[in-house]
Structure 1
Amino acid sequence: MEELKIVRNREDLMGLSGKKVKLVGYYTSQSYKPQVTGNPDFQGVYIKSQIVLEDGTVVNIFPSWNKQSLRSPSEAQKYTGKIVQGIGVVEFEATSRMINSQIRESVIYLEELNFTVLP
């Protein structure tokens, strides 16, 4: 199996866009209560998470317009503020073809998430 390249900063991210990589940074998350949802019985909160690279570049875990971007409370509690390694395909400044294409965000299509120890 091929060794995955490591993304630690914006330059790495730009150069490896479209490739499967190991993304290393701090896990952060925000939670909010939506005003309107597709399910009127939904009473919870939405949690969106990111991995912040060493130079401050923010990489969303899945695009914000994608349902997969909603993270579980247990994942957010376990990883927030910790250094993590995400494995998946990264995209630098992705845009949605279905909604306002003015939104540009870097994303990882996450396959695996683990704690990591920096060498």
Structure 2
Amino acid sequence: MSDRITLSGLKVRGHHGVFDFERRDGQDFVVDVVLELDLAPAAATDDVTDTVHYGELAGRLAEVIAGEPVNLIETLADRLVTVCLADGRVAAATVTVHKPQAPIPHEFADVAVTVRRTR
């Protein structure tokens, strides 16, 4: 599939992590999503109902990120990719979860997990 919708840099506060202080205090998570689907129907009709509404998708993803805490960003990424694949038009989805404030005792720029799922 060569058509894609990309949502980059969705920043939402969540309470995920293995440490008590991560769950108590929370931190910002940044999510990037790439959906692979046929965009020809939407291009032909010029109708948002013929594509994935990225604003609505962002809202559903934000609910998951801000919702029930998990220990691992791997688990969070899996939950988010499931949200992306809930729309039957999506053939594949790639989700990257960034945890830029991860509790690492060394200087670092980012920690991220990427998952890709297909139908």
TM-score, normalised to structure 1's length?
Answer: 0.29
Give the number of the structure whose alpha-carbon radius of gyration is greater: 2
Larger fraction in helix: 2
Larger fraction in strand: 1
